[in-house]
Amino acid sequence: MNAPAALDLRGTACPVNFIRARLAMETLPPGTWLQIDLDCGEPEQMVAEGLRSEGHTVQRVAPSPFAAGDGVRLLVRRDGG
């Protein structure tokens, strides 16, 4: 896998973070990965579940790449057409 495109949505409120993630996914060709950095909790849950419901593959990177533990990184592969 090549280095994925990146999107930092930490500090972005729900549902704006999901909308921005969804729009970013629409610009990618199928099979391409997008790295999304989010706040933990509801933002992570809403974005991950929303993108999965649209047919994309979502993986949580563990352990968290954020030293303060205030964020989470998702790797999302655009699936489908």
Q: Structural domains in the chain?
A: 5-77 (3.30.110.40)
Q: 80 pLDDT band (50/70/90 cuts)?
A: confident
- CA–CA dist 48, 10 (Å, integer): 14
Q: What is the pTM of this model?
A: 0.88
13-39: average pLDDT: 96
Summarize pLDDT for 44-78 with one digit per residue, the tens: 999 999 999 999 999 998 665 655 567 899 999 99
| pLDDT of residue 20 exceeding 60 | yes
- CA–CA dist 33, 2 (Å, integer): 8
Question: Given this model, what pLDDT does residue 56 score?
Answer: 97
- Which residues are paired to 77 by β-bridges? 33, 57
